[in-house]
């Protein structure tokens, strides 16, 4: 029953979109900022749009790497299109509440996201540019939009380590990735551990953010190279880690 509930969330891209929102809220708190509903909402809705556009446009290639998700997309193509259009309209509406300077941070990330299908077969480059894009969205964008951020570099390093570990693990299960699973998993686990160490060594109250790379690392301990584990458990670790960090920050 658990999989039957979580799979639709993951396959529809809502799971990863919520993870982006949780990470942004936790990162904002670590930078001494109060979260804004408009900023977090724009991140969630925008992530939903970018991921679903990619999945809807690249069905044939995704069929080989993520067959269960692709089958879900094909069964619910109309609903996903409607939901993506609705999320795009929400994103436009929320953008009016965000300053133009902050939106400039998202412009290149959006361009990269919509062009993702042309370069995602490059395994090593994929994990690097995905990490950079996510850090821009969940750390740099809130810092610019909300203003007055502190320790941005430290927060970016901690969150970036968790996302990099996640991206490397995604390549392991991806049939188009030119990676050997064992060395890659060791690297992913090492990067996650490094993120925890950085969080502990960081100044101020950044340490709760270490729960994000910790959750990512725990998800990789008993890693299963299949899309269900990758999309539900590994991506879910970012969501749970972000929520846990947010709760600890507020305690």
CA pair distance 2, 156, nearest whole angstrom? 33
Alpha-helix residue ranges (DSSP H) falling in 66-207: 67-75, 77-95, 100-114, 116-119, 123-135, 141-146, 152-173, 181-201
Using left for φ > 0, alpha for ψ between -120 and 50, and beta otherwise, residue 13 falls in left
pLDDT, tens only, 25-71: 999 999 999 889 999 999 999 999 999 998 898 887 778 778 899 99
CA pair distance 68, 62, nearest whole angstrom? 10
pLDDT of amino acid 2: 66
Q: Encode the chain (251 residues) as per-residue pLDDT tens digits.
A: 567 789 999 999 999 999 999 999 999 999 999 889 999 999 999 999 999 998 898 887 778 778 899 999 999 999 999 999 999 999 999 999 998 888 888 888 877 766 655 555 555 567 788 899 999 999 999 999 998 899 999 999 999 999 999 998 887 765 444 444 678 889 999 999 999 999 999 998 899 999 999 999 999 998 887 888 889 999 999 999 999 999 998 87
Token output for 97:
């509440």
- Exposed e or buried b per residue across 190-222, where buried means at least 16 C-beta atoms within 10 angstroms of its C-beta: ebbbbbbebbeebeeebbbbbbbbbbbbebbee
pLDDT, tens only, 162-172: 999 999 888 77
pLDDT of amino acid 116: 56
- Cα torsion 182, 22, 16, 219 to 10°: value is 20
pTM above 0.85, yes or no: yes
């Amino acid at each position: 029953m658990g999989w039957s509930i979580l799979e639709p969330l993951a396959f529809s891209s809502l799971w990863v979109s919520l993870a982006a929102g949780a990470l942004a809220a936790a990162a904002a708190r670590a930078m001494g900022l109060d979260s804004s509903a408009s900023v977090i909402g724009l991140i969630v809705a925008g992530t939903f749009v970018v991921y679903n556009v990619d999945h809807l446009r690249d069905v044939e290639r995704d069929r080989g790497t993520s067959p269960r998700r692709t089958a879900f997309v094909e069964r619910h193509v109309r609903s996903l299109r409607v939901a993506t259009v609705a999320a795009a309209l929400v994103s436009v509406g929320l953008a009016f509440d965000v300053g133009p300077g902050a939106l400039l941070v998202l412009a290149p990330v959006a361009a990269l996201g919509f062009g993702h299908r042309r370069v995602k077969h490059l395994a090593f480059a994929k994990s690097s540019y995905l990490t950079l894009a996510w850090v821009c969205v969940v750390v740099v964008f809130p810092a610019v939009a909300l203003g007055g951020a502190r320790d941005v570099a430290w927060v970016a390093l901690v969150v970036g380590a968790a996302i990099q570990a996640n991206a490397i693990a995604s390549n392991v299960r991806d049939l188009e990735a030119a990676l050997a699973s064992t060395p890659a998993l060791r690297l992913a686990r090492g990067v996650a551990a490094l993120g925890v160490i950085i969080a502990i060594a960081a100044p101020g109250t950044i340490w709760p953010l270490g729960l994000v790379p910790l959750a990512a690392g725990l998800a990789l301990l008993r890693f299963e190279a299949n899309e269900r584990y990758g999309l539900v458990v590994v991506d879910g670790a970012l969501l749970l880690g972000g929520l846990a960090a947010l709760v600890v920050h507020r305690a």
